[in-house]
Amino acid sequence: MNRIDLHLHSCHSDGILTPAQVASMAADQGLTAIALADHDTVSGIDECIASGELHRVEVIPAVELSVEYEGYRDIHLLGYFIDHRDMSFLEKLEQFRVRRMQRGAEIIERINEKLKREGKACISYADVLTQSVEALGRPHIARVLVAQGCASSMEDAFDKYLIPCDVPKLYFPLHEAICEIRRIGGVSVLAHPTSITRDRSLLRELLIAFAGLGLDGVEAYNTLCSADERDFLLGIARHYRLAVTGGSDFHGNEDDDRMGIDGNRGPITYELVQKLKERLDEGRAAMGT
């Protein structure tokens, strides 16, 4: 059936598996193409590509950028077929990595103050660092809270500690992120659109605005939307000539051991990759490259 998954994470951001293990698992589960789209980093792509070649899985170089638009924060923008070795882009990502580390330390400090008030033992910054490869994020902190018995689950850790003790994140402005993805040869796709809002009138307005800024596509097939919401996104994509992608947002947690999307929201197949490549060719032709 040529199943694919265009939204996977590794331990280079907030996933569990190494990039090589991601590609190996994809092969074991019968996927023919994947995209490693770690948060604000591309450091795991080469390892994933090498493993993909070994296991005969096509690996698309990708990234998931944290962006903002007007009053909306933490919008996730996927970039596919990017030049992940572009030095200017890597310098921008390094700024995000440094800020992630600073933010993580500040969040841990706030959480430890809360744990002290509750009469519980503090968590160790060093223990959290062992969970991360590139730069620590909130899921790394949550895993330590669960391991230490301060929370019963990842969700519980977020509800009790990560959300109330949060520190502002650094974001790319949306238009800048779209232009940067295009500059490094890629196509930009809005990840799990309904995570922004489930108000369909508002979401339609936002997607129209994003398309006007140069957005190439939407992740219509994703695990955060219902089949009805998927159809809504597919309708918008057809009307405004946006590319369509799909992915599981796989992180490799204990309850997250399957890649790809099946059931009433899938399956997603290689046809989406072909369409994405066509969009990429159209963009390059328009730029004269």
Tens-place pLDDT, residues 162-216:
999 999 888 999 999 999 999 999 999 999 999 999 999 999 999 999 999 999 9
Same domain, 200 and 79: yes
Q: Which comes out higher in pLDDT, residue 263 or 27?
A: 27
Least confident of 107-116, 139-148, 186-195: 139-148
pTM: 0.90
Query: pLDDT value at position 289?
Result: 60
Over range 117-138, report the average pLDDT.
86
Helix, strand, coil percent values for the chain (each to nearest 5): 45, 20, 35
Q: Choose the final residue of a domain: 127, 162, 197.
A: 162
The residue ranking higher by pLDDT, 161 or 135, is 161
Instruction: Say whether both 126 and 223 belong to one domain.
Output: no
> Please, what's the largest Cα pairwise distance for the chain?
64
pLDDT of 9 higher than 90: yes
Q: Which of 162, 189, 204 is the last residue of a domain?
A: 162
Number of H helices, E strands in the chain: 10, 8
**pLDDT of amino acid 68:** 96
pLDDT category of residue 254 using cuts at 50, 70 and 90 = low
Q: Are residues 40 and 152 in the same domain?
A: no
Last-in-domain residue among 114, 130, 162: 162
Overall average pLDDT of the 103-108 stretch: 93
Q: What is the CATH number of the domain that holds 269?
A: 3.20.20.140
Domain of 214 in residue numbering reads as 3-92+170-287
Cβ contacts of residue 137 below 8 Å, gap of 6+? 13, 14, 39, 100, 104
- My answer on whether 216 and 85 are in the same domain is yes
Which of helix, strand or coil describes residue 34?
A: strand
State the CATH number of the domain containing residue 147: 1.10.150
pLDDT band of 39, cuts 50, 70, 90: very high
Residues 132 and 187 in one domain: no
Over its C-alpha atoms, the chain yields an Rg (Å, rounded) of: 19
| Angle, CA 279 vertex, CA 275 and CA 284 arms, to 5° | 145
Does one domain contain both 11 and 71? yes
**Same domain membership, residue 200 and residue 267:** yes
Residues 112 and 151 in one domain: yes
Instruction: Calculate mean pLDDT across residues 110-130.
Output: 92
What are the tens digits of pLDDT across the range 47-81? 999 999 999 999 999 999 999 999 898 899 999 99
56 and 107 both lie in a single domain: no
Q: Are 231 and 271 in contact (CB under 8 A)?
A: no
The pLDDT value given to residue 281: 82
Coil, strand or helix at 89: helix
Confidence of residue 288 (pLDDT cuts 50, 70, 90): low
What CA–CA distance (Å, rounded) separates 246 from 67?
Answer: 19
On whether the CB atoms of residues 19 and 12 are closer than 8 A, the answer is yes
Which residue did the predictor score with more confidence, 282 or 144?
144
Task: Output the pLDDT for position 274.
Answer: 94
Phi, psi of 244 (to 5 degrees): -120, 135
Number of domains in the chain: 2
Distance, in Å, from the CA atom of 212 to the CA atom of 194, rounded to the nearest integer, reads 19
pLDDT of res. 129: 86
181/154 same-domain check? no
Average pLDDT on 116-124 reads 93
Tokens matching residue 113:
């103050």
Residues 34 and 115 in one domain: no
In the structure, what pLDDT confidence band is assigned to residue 240 with cuts at 50, 70 and 90?
very high
- H-only helix segments in the chain: 19-28, 45-55, 87-117, 125-129, 138-147, 154-157, 174-183, 200-212, 227-239, 271-287
pLDDT of the residue at 258: 86
Separation of alpha carbons 30 and 214, rounded Å: 34
CA separation (Å) from 235 to 158, 198, 200, 242, 279?
34, 15, 12, 10, 18
Same domain, yes or no: 143 and 188: no
CA 243 to chain centroid, in Å, comes to 17
Task: Calculate mean pLDDT across residues 82-106.
Answer: 94
